[in-house]
Amino acid sequence: MVQPLDYLKETASQTAGPYVHIGCTPNFAGISGVYEKDLGSGPLVNDKTRGERITVKGRVIDGSGTALRDAMVEIWQADADGFYDSPSETRGKADPNFLGWGRCPADMETGEYVFETIKPGRVPFADGRLMAPHITVWIVARGINIGLHTRMYFADEAEANAADPVLARIEHKVRVPTLIAMRDGDAYRFDIHLQGENETVFFDI
């Protein structure tokens, strides 16, 4: 039987809201017993992982310059040899002691996220050219309807960055620095600006 067109209403769109932490990081949200630990939490490395150990930290910053304290950040990257831990990886075998993926809720006081990982190797672009070492970043937070994708490159890889085919596609070169993480002591700092003069370049993928 055909239903009248006004029988089923379209549900209003929702932002990530406070529920993203309940679903993705329940232990962080104070809900125990769902997972032993939140998926993606903790270091991506162990004592057998190959490569240079690094810490990546930063904040997700709104248009007013305020750090979002309810953001959640995920990263995905190649291992030190440039291989991904993925069934679609056909070039070689990824380091079994490296996770390659992590998830971190921002600190509820400072808004800072932190990942303990390694510096990734170079991977080929679709046409075979090597891309500069980079980490893929995905961001969700209150007020964001669809997760935002960006990349983090390394300031101390200037030669590789200059030849990177993705960075070369960015029309406004003055915005390339929004994708470059600077060395900050023993860590790389990558602040993600959602709006404003220093708005980070986001990718439609």
Tens-digit pLDDT profile for residues 139-192: 998 778 789 999 999 999 999 999 999 999 999 999 999 999 999 888 999 999
pLDDT at 12: 64
Tens-digit pLDDT profile for residues 93-144: 999 999 999 999 999 999 999 999 999 999 999 999 999 999 999 999 877 8
Backbone φ/ψ region at 30: left (φ over 0), alpha (ψ -120 to 50), beta: left
* Residue 160 φ then ψ, to 5°: -65, -40
Tens-digit pLDDT profile for residues 28-53: 889 998 889 999 999 999 999 999 99
Q: CA 161 to CA 183: how far, in whole Å?
A: 15
**In the block, residue with structure tokens 């809900």:** 31
The CATH number for 42-193, chosen from 2.60.130.10, 3.30.1330.40, 3.20.10.10, 3.40.50.1010, is 2.60.130.10
**CA-angle at 176, arms to 151 and 199, nearest 5°:** 75
Going 97 to 98 to 102 to 104, the CA torsion angle's sign is positive
Annotated domain spans of the chain? 42-193
Q: Per-residue pLDDT for 14 more than 70? A: no
Q: CA 3 to CA 168: how far, in whole Å?
A: 52
Q: Per-residue pLDDT for 19 more than 70? A: no
Q: Per-residue pLDDT for 1 more than 60? A: no
Per-residue exposure over 90-106, b if at least 16 CB sit within 10 Å of its own CB, e if not: eeeebbeebbbbbbbbb
